[in-house]
Amino acid sequence: MNYINTRVMQVITEEKLDFTNNGDLTENLISAIIYKYEDRRKILHTEYRDEIRREAKLEKISSANGSTKIYSPSYDMISYLIN
């Protein structure tokens, strides 16, 4: 199984959470939002994750270097790949 390294950052405070797993940028961003701001006990509940996904209003951003980032304006958090 290939794991990827994802960083999720709170844009204003620059607080960072790193993930090494097979989740994509969106799923890791949702996990970070739940971990930081919501009910951690529900982190694996699909319906709860879907609710947070709707509230987060996720946007896909393409960088000048061709990389992709996922941004949540509601929580002011962004996820991106790291080496």
Domain boundary assignment for the chain: 4-82
Q: Given this model, what pLDDT does residue 59 score? A: 97
For residue 55, the tally of other CB atoms under 10 A from its CB is: 13
Q: Given this model, what pLDDT does residue 1 score? A: 76
Stated pTM of the model: 0.90
| The two structure tokens encoding residue 5 | 């390294």
Q: Given this model, what pLDDT does residue 70 score? A: 97
pLDDT tens for the chain, 83 residues long, are 789 999 999 999 999 999 999 989 999 999 999 999 888 899 899 999 999 999 999 999 998 889 999 999 999 999 999 98
Strand, helix or coil at 79? Answer: strand
